């Protein structure tokens, strides 16, 4: 194993995960290449899926929960006419009989897909890492144990039919945290009455981040060997689109203990925010020190009274 680096890295690394690798294995590789113990991703991609894996390193692991809340966009291929117990190509066998796929035109398909828009209840796949009674569902499924899998409320904000060459349907899907696109593929097949499974999946966007700016693991290895990996890391404020409260230098030592800043501790504000909005707490040089919610709006900080709470801590980063 690569020795831990003496240089502590802090930031977000965008990875283009290859097919055939688990997200956990990708993180393990980054941990070795970066020489850092504190490394984690912000949303699992199935082993067969490719695309954007957002990896947090060092202090940036403290904002992983905020990144994982962001909407995600996928390019998905659905193969109609066959079903899969895993809802993807892994569960398809050659012996399985192919059902006839209904001859639908683009307008009819788009109308069908529109029924999945908005808040919907989605069943978690039996072959998933979700725990039921303390046990992973995929382990129960492989053991032949029948389980009524839980349902989740998810939101699909956009679903576009990119192309259709029967039996293959190409989709672009934008959805909330917790959405299983392979469950969506299974549900589309069920709705059409012919069965369907997810034959290909690529994540292209997480929040404001896109796969266009992501690195392959080979590129990460190259930057690591050259000692320039730190230059590839994104700071927190390039990933999270939050306004900020800037504190004076004398107050910085109180952030670790979670002391709330008063009006005299605030140097300036950056951007516009309303009461209750999530904001950064930054020092005068722009370094993000904490994430929290604003106790007053950006317009009213100068007019706030001594009893006003100006910043409520959620997470201290430094």
Backbone Cα Rg of the chain? 23
Q: Where are the beta strands (DSSP E) in the chain?
A: 11-17, 39-41, 50-57, 72-80, 118-123, 131-132, 135-136, 151-165, 168-175, 196-206, 209-210, 243-247, 266-270, 278-282, 288-294, 311-316
Mean of pLDDT values over 95-122: 91
Which residue spans of the chain are classified as CATH 3.30.2350.10?
Answer: 11-69+209-236, 72-201
Asked if residue 2 has pLDDT above 60, the reply is no
User: Residues 25, 46, 158, 283: which is the catalytic one?
Assistant: 46
Residue carrying structure tokens 């989605």? 122
CATH 3.30.2350.10 fits 11-69+209-236, yes or no: yes
Mean pLDDT of the chain: 90
Q: Which CATH number fits domain 72-201: 3.40.50.1000, 3.40.50.300, 3.30.2350.10, 1.10.150.130?
A: 3.30.2350.10
- Among the CATH numbers 3.90.1150.10, 2.30.130.10, 3.40.47.10, 3.40.50.1100, which is that of 242-316? 2.30.130.10
Does 287 have pLDDT greater than 80?
A: yes
Instruction: Please tell me the predicted confidence (pLDDT) of residue 132.
Output: 65
Pick the range with the lowest mean pLDDT from 142-151, 161-170, 235-244. 142-151
Work out the average pLDDT over 120-143. Answer: 71
- The yes-or-no verdict on residue 4 having pLDDT over 60 is no
Q: pLDDT at position 140, please?
A: 59
Whether the predicted pLDDT of 78 surpasses 70:
yes
pLDDT digits (tens, 9 = 90+) for 28-57: 999 999 999 999 999 889 999 999 999 999
Q: Is the pLDDT of residue 95 over 90?
A: no
CA dihedral of residues 64, 66, 69, 74 (deg, nearest 10): -60
Between helix 217-226 and helix 23-34 the angle, nearest 10°, is 10
Q: Is the pLDDT of residue 86 over 90?
A: no
Give the pLDDT of residue 305: 65
Tell me, yes or no, if 307 is annotated catalytic: no
Q: Which of 145-154, 164-173, 305-314 has the highest mean pLDDT?
A: 164-173
Q: Is the peptide bond before 167 cis (omega within 30 degrees of 0)?
A: yes
Residues of the chain with CATH 2.30.130.10: 242-316
Under the banding of pLDDT at 50, 70 and 90, the label for residue 298 is very high
Over residues 138-164, the mean pLDDT reads 81
Residue 10's pLDDT band (boundaries 50, 70, 90)? Answer: very high
């Amino acid at each position: 194993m690569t020795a831990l680096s003496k240089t502590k890295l802090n930031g977000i690394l965008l990875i283009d995960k290859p097919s055939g690798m688990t997200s956990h294995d990708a993180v393990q590789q980054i941990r070795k290449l970066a020489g850092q113990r504190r490394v984690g991703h912000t949303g699992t991609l199935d082993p067969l899926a490719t695309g954007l894996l957002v990896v947090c390193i060092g202090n940036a692991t403290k904002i992983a929960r905020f990144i994982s809340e962001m909407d995600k966009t996928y390019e998905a291929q659905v193969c109609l006419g066959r079903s899969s117990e895993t809802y993807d190509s892994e569960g398809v066998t050659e012996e399985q009989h192919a059902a006839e796929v209904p001859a639908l035109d683009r307008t009819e398909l788009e109308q069908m897909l529109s029924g999945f828009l908005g808040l919907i209840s989605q069943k978690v796949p039996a072959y998933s890492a979700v725990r039921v009674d303390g046990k992973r569902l995929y382990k129960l499924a492989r053991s032949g144990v029948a389980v009524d899998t839980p349902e989740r409320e998810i939101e699909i904000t956009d679903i576009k039919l990119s192309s259709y060459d029967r039996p293959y349907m190409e989709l672009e899907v934008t959805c909330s945290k917790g959405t299983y696109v392979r469950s969506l593929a299974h549900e589309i097949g069920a709705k059409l009455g012919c069965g369907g499974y997810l034959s290909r999946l690529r994540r292209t966007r997480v929040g404001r981040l896109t796969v266009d700016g992501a690195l392959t693991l080979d590129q990460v290895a190259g930057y690591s060997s050259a000692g320039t990996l730190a230059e590839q890391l994104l700071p927190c404020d390039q990933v999270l689109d939050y306004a900020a409260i800037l504190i004076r230098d004398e107050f910085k030592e109180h952030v670790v203990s979670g002391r709330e800043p008063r009006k005299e501790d605030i140097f300036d504000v950056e951007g516009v925010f309303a009461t209750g909005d999530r904001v950064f707490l930054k020092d005068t040089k722009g370094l993000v020190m904490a994430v929290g919610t604003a106790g007053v709006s950006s317009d009213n900080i100068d007019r706030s009274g001594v009893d006003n709470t100006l910043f409520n801590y959620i997470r201290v980063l430094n």
